[in-house]
Chains A and B, each alone.
Chain A
């Protein structure tokens, strides 16, 4: 369950699949470690079923980090009542904002309105963040919307694009290349390095998409 990554990180494995309950444990352990941090812990990176702990080997040995984490692992289940933040994401679906909405609907044999309804109905967890600064990997998507990634990724996806791929949905924080299907767009700014709060979302947050009309944006 605990595995060294090189000489300056420790990987905590809490499972081996994409699963909401496992991911909740990852965020619970992460929260517990943050509150009880010790000198030499550089930062932690929660992912689907793992937590990576970066530490400074000038201050801590592998042994010391391992003991610290093992000690906290025994307490992690008690902090499962962690209350996640809930955030709404106003989203303009289809048209120029979601150029792939129609294609997704056709491929799934349902109407575009149905795709929007299904996508905006569920509440999603920010399982992890990565790819580019501020990109939230959200799950779990309703089975009726599961699509493989695009065969040829776009070279430019505009910032704010709401997209789906596999059992996940996400939002592009920056103009970047991307291989997910674009179904909508949000005017929210997910990443602003000059702001006091540079990132709109944090791993573990709960997110719900709210359809908006054109003139709201």
Chain B
């Protein structure tokens, strides 16, 4: 068990997401950075869909009520365990009574805390992912007690492991984000499409789990900015009338009425999610769907087969 001593920012439970209800208007939710989320579970021997604590744009302090093994991944944070500072992407043993402080630094927005055995969270609509706007679950508050399940092996087997993140996901504040063009590319002028692919964008101050508003050169429409509402998903890049792109993120509305110039591919979503407001310099690059899918499959295989684990 972990006691929540203090939290700031947005701290919620997330699992792989809530699928199957999008046709009723329920977003997928799930982690903002799926790679960090899966790696955290993988480090402590949990199965793919185990709930973790997502720490966003703030800090969290916990106190262990029993011995446990934790792992923290993500970008823009460091971990203080008792008296030792740990880097992210490692797992570590925590003795009952010790404090674990997940501290914000620069270089990212989101961190993931997994426990060997997994946090026990009551699912709503088949998922433990919190979706605050829809009243599905609640954020984690100081004073909460987080229950932990039974680890898949002897506890200490999962301690002191590390994940070679640079090899697979080179987090940076000047990423090249791969996108699949369309489905409404023809709703933009040729000049507008060039602007999108040849300019630098940054994340504005207006960003949350629902979407990132980007700032940069304005993208020109050829046929107006109104579209009959249609389905969209995490990574969809909508461009409203002002020409400034909005990337739809984990708590994405299931439908939207602005033309979509492109969609961020799964392997680039973590890089974008960790882009900080004002600091980041984002460039976009088109990629064929087939290449994106191959890369995603390889990345998934690496997550669970890595030799150092």
CB–CB A52/B228 < 8 A: no
CB–CB B266/A7 < 8 A: yes
A120 to chain B, nearest CB (A): 24
CB–CB B230/A4 < 8 A: no
Contact among A47, A62, A128 for B290, CB-based, below 8 A: A62
Q: Which of A182-197 contact B (CB under 8 A)?
A: 191, 193-194
CB–CB A129/B293 < 8 A: no
> Per-position contact with B for A43-54: 1 when CB-CB < 8 Å, else 0?
111111111101
Q: Which of A5-32 contact B (CB under 8 A)?
A: 5-9, 11, 16-18, 30
CB-defined contacts of B23 to chain A, threshold 8 Å? 30, 43-46, 129, 202-203
Q: A45-B255, A57-B293, A62-B290 are in contact. Are A133 and B230 (CB under 8 A)?
A: no
Contact segment of B68-76, B133-141, B159-167? B133-141
The distance in angstroms between the C-alpha atoms of A166 and B136, with both chains bound, is 30
The distance in angstroms between the C-alpha atoms of A165 and B230, with both chains bound, is 18
CB-defined contacts of B293 to chain A, threshold 8 Å? 7, 57, 61-62
Q: Which of A104-157 contact B (CB under 8 A)?
A: 128-135, 137
B69 to chain A, nearest CB (A): 28
CB–CB B255/A5 < 8 A: no
Counting chain B CB atoms within 10 Å of each CB, the highest count among A8, A11, A42 belongs to: A8
A36 to chain B, nearest CB (A): 17
B26 is an interface residue with CB less than 8 A from chain A: yes
Contact among B236, B253, B255, B297 for A57, CB-based, below 8 A: B297
CB–CB B296/A50 < 8 A: no
A15 to chain B, nearest CB (A): 9
Please name the residue on chain A nearest to B229 by beta carbon.
A47
Q: Which of B230-244 contact A (CB under 8 A)?
A: 230-233, 235-236
Chain B interface residues toward A at CB < 8 A = 19-26, 124-125, 133-136, 179-180, 182-183, 228-233, 235-236, 253-255, 260, 263-266, 289-290, 292-293, 296-297, 300
Chain A interface residues toward B at CB < 8 A = 3-9, 11, 16-18, 30, 42-52, 54, 57-58, 61-63, 128-135, 137, 174, 191, 193-194, 198-199, 202-203
CB–CB B25/A9 < 8 A: no
Q: A42-B19, A57-B297, A131-B25 are in contact. Are A6 and B264 (CB under 8 A)?
A: yes
CB–CB A45/B254 < 8 A: yes
CB–CB A130/B253 < 8 A: yes
Return 23 A-B CB contacts under 8 Å, by A number. Answer: A3-B182, A3-B183, A5-B233, A5-B263, A6-B265, A7-B263, A7-B296, A8-B266, A9-B263, A16-B228, A18-B228, A43-B21, A45-B22, A47-B229, A47-B231, A57-B297, A129-B24, A129-B25, A133-B134, A135-B25, A198-B24, A198-B125, A202-B24
The distance in angstroms between the C-alpha atoms of A128 and B24, with both chains bound, is 8
CB-defined contacts of B134 to chain A, threshold 8 Å? 132-133, 174
